[in-house]
Amino acid sequence: MTRLFGTDGVRGLANKKLTPILALKLGQAAAEVLTAHRESFERRPLAIIGRDPRVSGEMLDAAIASGLASRGVDVLRVGVLPTPAIAFLTDDYGAELGVMISASHNPMPDNGIKFFSSGGKKLPDSVEDEIQKAMEHLAEDGPTGTKLGRIISEAPDARGRYLAHLAEVVSADLSGIKVVVDAANGAASKVAPQAYEAAGAEVIAIHNKPNAFNINEDCGSTHIEQTQQAVVEHGAHLGLAHDGDADRCLAVDAQGNVVDGDQIMALLAVGMKEDNALRYNTLVATVMSNLGLKLAMEEQGITVIEANVGDRYVLEELAKGDFSLGGEQSGHVVLPDDCTTGDGTLTGLSIMARMAKTGKSLAELASVMTVLPQVLINVPVRDKGAIMADSELKAAIAEAEAELGDSGRVLLRPSGTEELFRVMVEAKSEEHARKVAGRLAAVVASV
């Protein structure tokens, strides 16, 4: 059986791989699995559904809401809000499950469906597998009459609840900080500027006018050049670039230099250690994090634990060790005391709070870490599963690792959301890293 769920929910080309019929069945199966062990039966189970602004989200929202209601679940549709807002609201409304319809940083024609259990927590693989299995055995009919779920399409307090939550967990006064915010024409187009302004920052918002078709289009965290240019043009203290569903945040310093997720984690970890808030003096990163992060944290007396790529795996490690900070180089930063998943807006607030507290620029704070040259090549492939078994590639990897020695490293892994194979190489010089990565990418492409 081919696994339906990837690294972060079910993704695919909307109306081709990810159809309304599939969404309907996902809703029905999720209703059966995620409400099976509810403790209270005084009311019907409740689901929260949110989405990013891409056009196919409207169609999939309607389909999955219908699937849930057909299995006796009440549905509250909260509209366009970030993924972390849906996670928070699932808990805040006391819902049995939450659904976010988004393909995150992927292009507009794609879409995705991700689920949260009660409390706003991402699902482990085993529960996702239960949902997929339940889809194969769905009864043709369901409850009728008064046992059907209701679909409520107005939630006027949803955004306000989330903004109030952000203001509560980061209470710093950001007056005097000028920030450029690139909302990627996505789910944070209203929320992120509002949250930063409420904290006192002067906000210059760009790419905050979604029209259902322009999400992630040459903007946001995957096209950060726009943010770099705007920061310099406006003389801002920093820039913050989100992705389509706003669970990511990358930053730009006043000189227009990118501050990636590793550097953000480094500066937050140092600050949290100073405040005795970094539990067990430990940071959870992933195997894709730059070697420079590990070296910098070692100097600061902070332990780095590696997780698999994907913020769900970071979350698992955080929960396992009761740690208080984790994330990914891509800009997913998780502060589990304040959120149940990566929250780009919370990350932006935390960065600026650190700047306000120390009086230091973002460049000064980020300088705690020296980024080693790292080259990442995404190679389109037909069969991700067959790549690593290739004997020629195994030999090429062994040769590259011997060539780099202790001064670099090689990492090859399949994308969890696209038909790509990622080739990452770190070395003392960018030229050397590009040479080795290009060689390995060519072997991957030939498999």
Q: Which two tokens stand for residue 162?
A: 């989330």
- Tell whether the torsion through CA atoms of 10, 12, 17 and 23 is positive or negative: positive
**Is 70 annotated as catalytic?**
no
Whether 425 contacts 410, CB under 8 Å: yes
**391 in a known ligand binding site:** no
CA atoms within 13 A on the CB side of 163: 17
**247 in a known ligand binding site:** yes
| Separation of alpha carbons 427 and 102, rounded Å | 35
Element (H, E) at 411: strand 409-414
DSSP 164-182: HHHHHH-----TT-EEEEE
- Tell whether the torsion through CA atoms of 378, 381, 386 and 390 is positive or negative: negative
| Separation of alpha carbons 375 and 386, rounded Å | 23
Q: Which two tokens stand for residue 128?
A: 């996702």
Strands 374-380 and 420-426, by their bridges, are antiparallel
Q: Which residues pair with 249 in a beta bridge?
A: 242
- Residue 403's Cβ-count burial label (10 Å; 0-12, 13-18, 19+) is middle
Element (H, E) at 311: helix 311-321
Among 346, 329, 322, CA closest to 294:
329
Annotated active-site residue in 56, 66, 70, 104: 104
Binding residues: 104, 243, 245, 247
Which residues form the catalytic set? 104
Q: Annotated binding site for Mg(2+), which residues?
A: 104, 243, 245, 247
